[in-house]
Amino acid sequence: LIYNNIKIEEVYTHDYSCNRYIVYCDESDTAVVIDPGCNARIVISKLNELNKKLGAILLTHAHYDHIQSVSELKRRYGAHVYLGERDMELIESDGHLAWYFRKQLDAFEVDVRLTGGVYDVCGFVFEAIPTPGHTHGAMTFVIGDNMFSGDTIFFETYGRTDLQGSDLKELTESAKRLFALKGDYKIFCGHGKNTSLSHERKHNPIIGLF
Ligand SMILES: [Zn+2]
């Protein structure tokens, strides 16, 4: 069973953590969360409000501000965790940067190590596009005409490349590949406001680095 009429709930908090998104539809009682970087309670109360249980946790990359509540949510719901294979190096070391936020990562198992391609996630069809640069294993998720760019592309800017696993050249190549996609997409960024692929093709400063 494949769900097409998807809805996206944006969950913002005013702390260091990232934007996080709940993907769901009326036909299923199961939702998918992307980058639960905040306190788990915030995600749980939103899921309760929507009357959904959590089936899967998709991670654009393995930085603490995107993965803070993965462990707790996985324990509570038994949700499967999806992460780019090359970001395993971050959660197996200090590369997840929890120390930077003066926190400790509550460790979790990754169920699906993404290498790119199309994945059926609880009936939601996501394409995972490898977009290394901010981290080696960074993924951009596409469902319908929606794109979840993590810390690769932001509104008129792009992610940091001074961290473990970062590479500015890789990031420009990744942006190039996204900008070369046909058509337009709404972009839900890991931080800051939403944008669109057509806007970023014209206005993102990374195009000056191509
Ligand atoms: Zn990051």
Among candidate residues 148, 131, 122, the one with its CA nearest the CA of residue 21? 148
- Report how far ligand 1's centroid is from the alpha carbon of 159 (Å): 7
Instruction: Give distance in angstroms: CA of 36 to centre of ligand 1.
Output: 13
Token pair 């899921």 is at which residue? 47
3-state DSSP assignment of residue 98: helix
Q: How far is the CA of 151 from the centre of ligand 1 (A)?
A: 5
Q: How far apart are CA 200 and CA 51, in angstroms?
A: 35
The CA-atom distances, in angstroms, between 6 and each of 23, 25, 168, 188, 200 are 7, 5, 33, 14, 24
Distance CA 192, CA 73 (A): 24
pLDDT computed for residue 13 by the predictor: 80
Centroid of ligand 1 to alpha carbon of 163 (angstroms): 9
Angstrom distance (rounded) from CA 135 to CA 74? 23
Encoded tokens for 49:
């409000």
Residues of the chain with pLDDT under 50: none
Neighbours of ion ligand 1 (CB under 5 A): 63, 151
Find all residues with CB under 8 Å of 64, minimum gap 6, and list them. 37, 96, 97, 98, 100, 101, 103, 105
Å from CA of 125 to ligand 1 middle: 24
The pLDDT assigned to 15 comes to 78
pLDDT computed for residue 207 by the predictor: 94
Predicted pLDDT at 210: 85
Closest by alpha carbon to 196, among 131, 149, 133? 149
Distance 134 CA to ligand 1 centre (A): 7
Q: Report the SS3 class of residue 20.
A: strand
3-class state of residue 73 by DSSP: helix
Distance 78 CA to ligand 1 centre (A): 25
